[in-house]
Each structure stands twice: as C-alpha cells, then as structure tokens.
Amino acid sequence: MNEAIRPGPESPLQAAGLPQLSVVVPTFNERDNVTTLLRRLEMALKGVAWEVIFVDDNSPDRTWQVVRDLARQDGRVRCIRRIGRRGLSGACIEGILASSAPCAAVIDADLQHDETQLPKMLAVLQADTAELVVGSRYVEGGSADSFNRQRAGARARATGGAKQLRRGAIADPMSGFFMIRRDRFEQLAPQLSTQGFKILLDIIATARGTLRTLEIPYTFGSRLHGESKLDSMVALDFLGLVLAKLTHDTVSLRFLMFAMVGSIGLLVHFSALYIALSGFALPFPEAQGLGALSAMTSNFILNNFLTYRDQRLKGFAILRGLLLFYLVCGVGLLANVGVAASVFDQEPIWWLAGAAGALMGVVWNYAMSGLFVWRRR
C-alpha cells in the first residue's frame, strides 16, 4: 500500500473524515419533521463524525422527496426510498445494513426521542462499557407501579440517571431509540425478523443474553407533527414476533391470522347453513351456497381489518377486493377438492385427505389473495 494513503495508527476514521456514527431514521409520513430532526442532530452531534440514513417506505406525503432535497445540500444525509414494503423493523435493519460506521443508532423521526442523548450513548459504546445502549422512557407523572418499566425508569431517575448494565431483560424493550455496535448487529442481522416494529426486543432475544446492554433514561416527548402509525393492534405484533422466532421465520403471523379467520369462516358457514335450512327452509344446495358466500364475505371483512390491517382496502377498493376474493376462494375450493380427492385415491383415510385439501385451500387462498386482493403498491 502507498505510504501516503495508509491510515495512521490512531483514529483512522477521524483522519479520513469517515463517520463514527450512522443514525438511522425510519420514516412514514413525516415530511414536517425530518428537517427539524436533521437540525437537531446537527446541534447534538457537534464534534462527532456522523451520517444519517432516512429509510422511507414511499410515504404518500412524499417525505422521501424532502429528504432527497436535504441530501442534495448535505453529504451526511442519505435517503432509502423503499417501494412496495412497509414495516418499522425491516426499515431499521435495512438502514443499518446500508451504512458502515462502527456504531449505529435508531431514532424516530417525530422528535419524540431525545437526540441529545446520542453523544452519551456513543461514548458508552466507544469506551466499550456496553455493546448496546437503549434509551428507556419513563413516563412523567405516570403512576409508578402500573408498569415495571415505568418503575425502573423512575428508579433510574431517582439515582440521578445511574446506568445499569444488563445482559438480558431491560426496562423498556419496546424502545425505538437505541445504539448498537455494528459488528454485533451484523452478527445478529440474519436472524432478525423484518416484520413488525419490535426490533429492539428482537435484537435482545436473538442475542440470548450475550449483548452487554446499558439503559439511559430519557423523557419521551410528544409528537410535533403527523400521527402515530402504531395503532392499537400492536399487541398482535408482539405475538407475531414470538411466532416468527419459534418457527425460525417460516410461519408468519399474517398466515396464522389468515388461517384463524378461515376457521371463524367455517363457523359462519355452518351457522348460515343451519339458519337457511331450518329458519328459511331453503333447499340444501341453495343453503350451502349461501353458507359459503357468507363465510367468504366475513373472511374478507375480517382479513381486511385484522390480517391486512396495515394495507386495508378502503372505499371503492373494498368492492373490487371482495369480488377478487370470491374469485380466489372459488379457485381455492377447486384446488382443495382436487388435492383431497387425489390423496383419498391413494390412501382412503377421510380425515387425512380432508386435512390435505383444507391445507391446500388455505395456502392457495393466502398466497393468491396476498398477490391480487391486498396487493402492495
């Protein structure tokens, strides 16, 4: 190597002006917040070589365009515009993997996290006191005994913000504000789930107690502009992460919900069949048809509100979606019966053939409705 370009012994990063810290900011409809966040990062990170990577899931409010404009004026700013994908965890993972500073931080765009903690967090990683630093919220004025994490936060505050070093459970595993050493993150990344928003919990669970972790309490601010994207269904998200971990990402929560909705559909089918037969004295074929139609309709509605809540069809698209869903399920029924019949041909065990057919049907319906009914734009 040429003498002139060989990095010096101390702090080669600083010498080359390369970032010591990559800040990753997931965004969805945050156009009014990103510029302020950038200014605040600038203030907070004076004296640190840093870069910021905004990961935007093609926000309808065109946040990505605002970020692009910022990036044109400032080489430290980058924008990843993801099309056809949604999800906080996946966005954070992609942002960290698209950067290369030895330390990576994740922070929300809506100014609810306290960016002035970043230098402190970076110092902890650089001193190798910990490999992961978590910004833990404590709720001011919140009742101290309603949640453990609030209690832990209050405790930390009472001891003057004293930090506790941990390896396993932490007070605020749902925090979206943390900093991690790149090498440790790269080790864990292949096992992380890209679905949902519990990235920190996932990192900690995947590391299985091997990550030296430190918590720094901060005050969770209130949102300046826009609204929260994490609705009341987030509890399901947690279930999804557990499931993905248990099955090594083979079974998604979405599929399981789809199948669960399908079993509810079975109940709807039998109820409608029964009512049509005994209440309205319809002939059997008509009653059975009505049962199937009711089941498909209720399945569609439930899937639209639960399974695909993040890409719910609204307005006129509901009608179009419903018709497509009927079509998909109709073909699914043919596939179901076809598979069941051929299994029964080889092995005349009624329940085995029935189960094989039903599995075929649900997998088909799931795959096809994901492709055609709740297609990602």
Q: Which positions lie near ligand GDD, rule CB under 6 A?
A: 26-28, 30, 55-57, 86-88, 91, 108-110, 112, 174, 176, 197, 228-230
Least distance in Å: CB of 37 to ligand GDD?
9
Give the rounded distance of the alpha carbon of 40 from its chain centre: 26
- C-alpha to C-alpha distance for 230 and 279, rounded to whole angstroms: 44
Tokens linked to 113: 């996290």
Q: Specify the pairing of strand 21-27 against strand 103-106.
A: parallel
Nearer to Mn ion by C-beta: 111 or 188?
111
Smallest gap from residue 111 Cβ to ligand GDD (A): 9
Q: Pick what 146 binds: ligand GDD, Mn ion, none; C-beta below 5 to 8 Å, kind-dependent.
A: none
Determine the residue type at 78: R
Nearest distance from C-beta of residue 366 to Mn ion, angstroms: 31
The sign one gets for the Cα dihedral 212, 218, 222, 223 is: negative
Q: How many other CB atoms are found less than 10 A from the CB of residue 212?
A: 18
Smallest distance from ligand GDD to CB 25, Å: 6
Comparison of 309 and 327: residue with beta carbon closer to ligand GDD: 309
Task: Show Cβ contacts of residue 174 under 8 Å, excluding neighbours closer than 6 positions.
Answer: 198, 200, 201
Query: Residue with the closest Cβ to ligand GDD?
Result: 176
| CA 193/CA 216 separation, integer angstroms | 25
Q: How far is the CB of 79 from ligand GDD (least distance, A)?
A: 11
**Among ligand GDD, Mn ion, none, residue 336 binds (CB under 5-8 Å by kind):** none
According to CB under 5 A, which one of 110, 114, 115, 131 is a site residue for Mn ion? 110
Coil vs helix vs strand at 304:
helix
In the chain, alpha helices (H): 12-16, 34-44, 63-73, 88-97, 118-126, 148-158, 182-188, 199-207, 234-246, 253-274, 284-302, 316-346, 350-368
Contact between 114 and Mn ion (CB under 5 A)? no
Identify which of residues 112 and 299 has a Cβ nearer to Mn ion in the complex: 112
Question: In the bound complex, what is the minimum distance in angstroms from residue 173's beta carbon to ligand GDD?
Answer: 9
CA distance 355 to 325: 22
Q: How far is the CB of 112 from Mn ion (least distance, A)?
A: 4
Q: Candidates 76-84, 109-117, 204-212, 249-257 — which segment interacts with Mn ion by CB under 5 A?
A: 109-117
Q: Does 99 bind Mn ion (CB under 5 A)?
A: no
- Considering only residues 112, 294, 304, 369, which one is a binding residue for Mn ion as defined by CB under 5 A? 112
Binding residues for Mn ion, how many (CB under 5 A)? 2
The partner in contact with residue 125, picked from Mn ion, ligand GDD, none with C-beta cut-offs of 5 to 8 angstroms by kind, is: none
* Calpha distance 88→225 (Å, rounded): 18
CB of 108 to ligand GDD, least distance (A): 4
**Does residue 51 bind Mn ion (CB under 5 A)?**
no
User: Closest CB to Mn ion among 112 and 193?
Assistant: 112
State the Cα–Cα distance between residues 99 and 92, nearest whole angstrom. 11
On the 0-12 / 13-18 / 19+ scale of CB atoms within 10 A, 48 is middle
For ligand GDD, give the closer residue by CB, 129 or 228. Answer: 228
Taking the least distance from each CB to ligand GDD, the nearer of 227 and 347 is 227
Residues of this chain that bind Mn ion (CB under 5 A): 110, 112
